[in-house]
Homo-oligomer: A and B are copies of this chain.
Amino acid sequence: DVVPITRALISVSDKSGIVDLCTYLHSRNVELLSTGGTARALRDAGLPCIDVSDYTGSPECLDGRVKTLHPKVHGGLLGVRGNARHERDMAENGIGLIDMTILNLYPFGATVKSGASFDQCIENVDIGGPSMLRSTAKNHAYTTIVTNPDQYDEVRACMEKNDGGTTLSLRKKYAARAFALSAAYDSTIATWFGKQLGDDGPSSSSVVTRVYRPEFPLKYGCNPHQSPAGISSLLNSELPFKVLNGTPGYINLLDAANAWLLVKELREATGLAAASSFKHVSPAGAAVAVPLTEVECAAYEISVEDASRLTPSALAYLRARNADPMCSFGDYAAVSDVVDEATASILKREVSDGIVAPGYTPEALAILTSKKGGKFIVLEARSDYVPEPVEYREVYGMTFSQRRNDVVITREHMTRNVVTKGGATALTDDAIRDMIVASICVKYTQSNSVGFAKDGMMVGVGAGQQSRVDCVKLAGRKVSTWYLRQHPKVLALQFKKGVKRQDRVNARVRYIEGDFTDEERVRWEAQFEAVPEPLTGAEKDEFMKRATGITISSDAFFPFRDSIDHASKVGVSYVAQPGGSVQDPEVTSCCDDYGMVMSFTDVRLFHH
């Protein structure tokens, strides 16, 4: 199935690597046909090449619009080798074999993006290129279609191995890619053209083509029986992450995407290093680098001295992990800044699946790649990555498309419409920061959701609920547990030596929750030097009264005052929500009753 290359037609807009490849082809005695700028580039490099017009004998006319649309070109590409009649026809009509076409299409999307006029865009529609591409691809049993510089090395290697010929498997693979390129090219034109007719959105006159380049297969999808599965990039764009270590799974990567966007936006909005801790595509915690109080140091098991030496990234992750440390067990972590040794050391002692960050110091990378017996997943995020504005998603034969949720949450969202008494002057800078943190957090939490924040740290995230007040209750319970971890009786718990850190974390939470089963109580008590006295309901209530200055943000409006009533029980002072309910006035006056400050952000943040 090897076909020798005797003549090649080259017409490329992207000239990178073309001289090297053609130098090689020339060394293999391949005759080079070319046009315009490509011919000039080859001649400048000292390579002999024949202009297509000379080759066809057809005079240059119509500004070169029909240069390659000629039987001598297409016959040379389409003739069936070994077919006696075809070979006779070719001989009689002076049609020589063309065995390889190297071309790429100047991306039409780039023309559009450059702000070109309608006429300029139309002028840029390539006619000759796609025709040659398609002829060569159709006849790939004999001809080789090369459409991208990233194929040049492979072409060369293949020819080198096959005495100057290419193999059928290479030609077939390249033909498939060529048709995909052609499809993508015309889809871009069709989509643009549809819009020119005055339709903003999709119209029945057009189709949408998404062309994906498979990047790596996954062992399976959401579940082991969901195979095949894989990750692809959009053709001509790259993935947002590089895999530095480990083998990420489907849910890991969903977590990584959301966790990374969350910290990236926190970083941009607050100017502080940020971290998040994901489980099942919602954050268990998230935080920015705000120093710890002494009591927090005790609750999070770090000495005041060690805490003072934490780098901002380490501090942010320590906080993110301590919102709900039981849920964060086995998390996927994200950090907004380059991960340093201090951050890696914090992660090292935690049970965690992987991390995404914009970079790693060599020391940090060494620590992380040795985690989980070398299987800890380490992703490097491209900081400047800008994805396509509209995303597509197939569910049961329906393809959902929507603009990404690219709203940027800013200070202005929190300050421009403070509806409670006193208005925006009642907001402290810390409160604004926490409102931003909580709102960005719910943006990446499965809906319905609310999130509570304090000191730049999420202290209760309520994900995936089906009523607003259920979210508040769920997350409110987490806030209570978080806050009660600072109760003197909790801090005073005396563990036996040898009880592991995660077991100490869990034991404290269970002490606070108090709803032991008999069997559990026995195991629980065995972890202590002496059986701790219970933390009574009254003690908990008393301590919770001290909680204050907490912020709540909701992904959609509060339909009734009940959510605010519940929030008041866990020390909420600040409320951020889109507003828009018929009950807004009642909800507002409820906030006023409790002395809370509430902002209407006008931005709904459902996430699915």
Contacts and interface: CB of A to CB of B under 8 A. Distances in A.
Nearest to A605: B223
A591 to B, nearest CB: 13
Given A92-B61, A202-B230, A388-B397, A74 B519 contact: no
A93 interface: yes
A85 to B, nearest CB: 8
A566 interface: yes
A428 interface: no
A465 B172 CA distance: 47
Interface stretch (A63-71, A286-294, A306-314): A63-71
B405 A222 contact: yes
B127 A221 contact: no
8 contacts: A127-B134, A177-B205, A177-B206, A200-B228, A221-B402, A223-B606, A280-B448, A282-B464
Interface string A91-135: 011010000000000000000000000000010010100110011
Interface string A216-244: 11101111111111111111011111000
A536 interface: no
Nearest to A329: B467
Contact of A208 (B65, B232, B474): B232
A282 B138 CA distance: 48
Given A209-B210, A231-B399, 4 more contacts: A63-B85, A69-B73, A176-B196, A204-B213
A608 interface: yes
A122 B93 contact: no
A391 interface: yes
A190 B182 contact: yes
The 10 closest A-B pairs by CB, nearest first: A464-B464, A221-B402, A201-B228, A202-B214, A517-B565, A61-B89, A229-B402, A279-B466, A183-B186, A327-B466
B197 A189 contact: no
Contact of A402 (B186, B220, B397): B220
B226 A209 contact: no
Interface residues of A, number: 153
Given A69-B131, A232-B202, A402-B229, A324 B466 contact: yes
Contact of A207 (B235, B239, B251): B235
Contacts of A447: 222, 280
Given A69-B131, A401-B228, A404-B226, A209 B197 contact: no
Interface in A398-413: 398-405, 407
Query: What number of copies of this chain does the assembly contain?
Result: 2
Given A221-B402, A226-B402, A187 B183 contact: yes
Interface stretch (A253-261, A431-439, A450-458): A253-261
Given A206-B176, A234-B399, A89 B62 contact: yes
A3 interface: no
A575 interface: no
Nearest to A195: B176
A5 interface: no
A501 interface: no
B180 A190 contact: yes
A392 interface: yes
A177 B391 CA distance: 21
A438 to B, nearest CB: 17
**Which among A79, A230, A403 has the greatest number of chain B C-beta atoms within 10 A?**
A230
